[in-house]
């Protein structure tokens, strides 16, 4: 099942980068969060993990594709000042540990990884700052969300390491690493951790956390009556009450599945939920391209559809955000039109109340 597509090489490099980043974030959780050596509410471990994972991924991408710009969630200005010294040192150490870890099957030293691939502190900060590209409609660009779902990460629940390649506003490659997602939802004894990857036109696949043993993904057919909605855990990120009303309109009985991060897109591809619904909670918030680009190509390649509430494709070519927020609806082909119709009905109801 080798991927012989135009972007097969890019996919291979990104899976290697995401694999290393997942090991890094898992070790941050084990060492700094699980043991609760922290004052409650201190978010610094997630910040350290976030920066270090972005540095790692950005370093590998820049080393391998030096001309490609990067749209990354983080920037390093806070780390360059004196008060950021301690954090900076921890980030540099973590990023270097991950960069210099032994090569795994399929890895290549030419990607700037493996024993001896240390970077200086300045190189690590530059790697983080390289994520400052403004986005736009033309050419190649990478998106990096080093820890998507930071709230889930802190709770020990779902989070995802997410990378995509966008070419002329179309997502061509999307990779989502989910260290805490069950390998097989029907058999918890198999443990957790999987990498999901898609290349446009070449299918979607689930790999082990080591980046091996690909299994094709295809969204199972669902009946509307049994539809389970996937939604954010955080009510501030997507409207739970809107989703409740949509399920009423559809006559759906099943409880919603709440999950942090782009793990929702991966779960949809495996049939753990039948539709992912994300409607705005506040006027003015614009969805970020790094929060949806990997998920969009994954779902489409698994046979699904991703649109906004108008039924229009997400536009990855207008900058770092998707533009005006009309929500995000991802579902299998069979149910997507019905979900859109009920979303629009609920929108009309809400409008009539004003």
Residues that bind ligand AMP (CB under 6 A): 148-149, 232, 234, 236-237, 260-261, 281-282, 285, 288, 291
| Residue of minimal Cβ distance to Mg ion | 148
Q: Is the Cβ of residue 111 or residue 316 nearer to ligand AMP in the bound state?
A: 316
Q: End-to-end distance of the chain based on CA atoms, in angstroms?
A: 54
**Cβ-contact 56, 130 below 8 angstroms:** no
What residues form DSSP beta bridges with 318?
none
**Residue 148 labeled ligand binder:** yes
Q: Which of ligand AMP, Mg ion, none interacts with 281 (beta carbon under 5 to 8 A by kind)?
A: ligand AMP
Q: Is the Cβ of residue 207 or residue 290 nearer to ligand AMP in the bound state?
A: 290
What residues form DSSP beta bridges with 143?
71, 164
**Residue 305 labeled ligand binder:** no
Q: Which of ligand AMP, Mg ion, none interacts with 336 (beta carbon under 5 to 8 A by kind)?
A: none
Burial 89-125 (b: 16+ CB within 10 A, else e): ebbbebbbbbbebeeeeebeeebbbbeebebebeebb
**Cβ-contact 177, 160 below 8 angstroms:** yes
Nearest to 146 by CA among 242, 68, 60, 47: 47
Q: Is the Cβ of residue 19 or residue 288 nearer to ligand AMP in the bound state?
A: 288
Site track 306-325 with Mg ion (rule: CB under 5 A), x = hit: --------------------
Q: Is the Cβ of residue 177 or residue 271 nearer to Mg ion in the bound state?
A: 177
Longest distance between any two alpha carbons in the chain, whole Å: 64
Query: What tokens does 231 get?
Result: 């939604």
**Beta strands in 16-81, from DSSP E residues, in sequence order:** 70-72
CB of 110 to Mg ion, least distance (A): 30
- Long-range pairs of 37-46 with CB within 8 A, sequence gap ≥ 24: 43/150, 43/154, 44/87, 46/147, 46/150, 46/153, 46/154
Q: Is the Cβ of residue 209 or residue 259 nearer to ligand AMP in the bound state?
A: 259
**Residue 291 labeled ligand binder:** yes
- Active site includes 150? yes
The CA distance from 49 to 233, in Å, is 21
CB of 282 to ligand AMP, least distance (A): 5
Which residue in the list 25, 47, 50, 308 is annotated as catalytic? 50
**Residue 145 labeled ligand binder:** yes
Q: Which member of 148, 287, 296, 301 binds Mg ion (CB under 5 A)?
A: 148
Q: Which of Mg ion, ligand AMP, none interacts with 146 (beta carbon under 5 to 8 A by kind)?
A: none
- Told to check if 129 binds Mg ion by CB under 5 A, we report no
CB of 171 to Mg ion, least distance (A): 15
Q: Is the dihedral of CA 128, 133, 134, 136 positive or negative?
A: negative
User: Count residues contacting Mg ion (CB under 5 A)?
Assistant: 3
- Active site includes 307? no
Write the DSSP symbol of residue 46. Answer: H
Which residue in the list 25, 64, 150, 247 is annotated as catalytic? 150
CB of 123 to ligand AMP, least distance (A): 26
Query: What tokens does 325 get?
Result: 């927020």
Q: Which member of 10, 50, 145, 308 binds Mg ion (CB under 5 A)?
A: 145
- Choices 135-143, 178-186, 212-220, 291-299; region in contact with Mg ion by CB under 5 A: 291-299
The CA distance from 115 to 236, in Å, is 43
Q: How open is the CA angle 186-187-190, to the nearest 5 degrees?
A: 140
**Residues with catalytic annotation?**
50, 150
Residues that bind Mg ion (CB under 5 A): 145, 148, 291
Q: Residues within the annotated binding site?
A: 73, 145, 147-148, 291
Residues annotated in a binding site for Mg(2+): 73, 145, 147-148, 291
């Amino acid at each position: 099942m080798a991927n012989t597509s135009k972007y097969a090489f890019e996919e291979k490099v990104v899976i290697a980068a995401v694999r290393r980043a997942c090991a890094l974030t898992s070790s941050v959780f084990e060492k700094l969060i699980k043991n609760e050596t922290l004052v409650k509410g201190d978010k610094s471990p997630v910040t350290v993990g976030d920066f270090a994972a972005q540095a790692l991924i950005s370093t590998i991408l820049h080393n391998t594709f030096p001309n490609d710009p990067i749209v990354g969630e983080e920037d390093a200005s806070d780390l360059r000042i004196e008060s950021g010294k301690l954090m900076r040192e921890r980030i540099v150490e973590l990023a270097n540990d991950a960069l210099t870890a032994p090569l795994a099957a399929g890895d290549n030293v030419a990607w700037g990884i493996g024993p001896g691939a240390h970077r200086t502190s300045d190189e690590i900060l530059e790697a983080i700052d390289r994520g400052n590209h403004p986005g736009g409609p033309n050419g190649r660009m990478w998106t990096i969300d080093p820890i998507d779902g930071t709230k889930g990460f802190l709770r020990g629940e779902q989070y995802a390491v997410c990378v995509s390649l966008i070419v002329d506003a179309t997502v061509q490659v999307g990779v989502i690493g989910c260290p805490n997602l069950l390998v097989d939802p029907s058999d918890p004894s198999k443990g957790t951790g999987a990498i999901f990857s898609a290349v446009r036109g070449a299918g979607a696949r689930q790999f082990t956390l080591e980046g091996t043993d690909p299994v094709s993904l295809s969204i199972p057919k669902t009946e509307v009556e049994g539809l389970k909605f996937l939604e954010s855990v955080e009510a501030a990120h997507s409207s739970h009450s809107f989703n409740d009303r949509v399920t009423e309109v559809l006559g759906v009985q099943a409880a919603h599945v709440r999950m942090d991060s782009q793990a929702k897109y991966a779960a949809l591809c495996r049939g753990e939920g039948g539709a992912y619904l994300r409607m705005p909670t506040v006027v003015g918030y614009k969805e970020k391209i790094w929060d949806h680009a990997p998920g969009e190509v994954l779902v489409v390649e698994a046979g699904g559809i991703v649109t906004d509430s108008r039924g229009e494709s997400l536009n990855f070519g207008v900058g770092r955000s998707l533009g005006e927020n009309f929500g995000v609806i991802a579902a299998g082909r069979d149910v997507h039109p019905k979900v859109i119709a009920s979303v629009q009905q609920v929108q009309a109801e809400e409008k009539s109340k004003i």
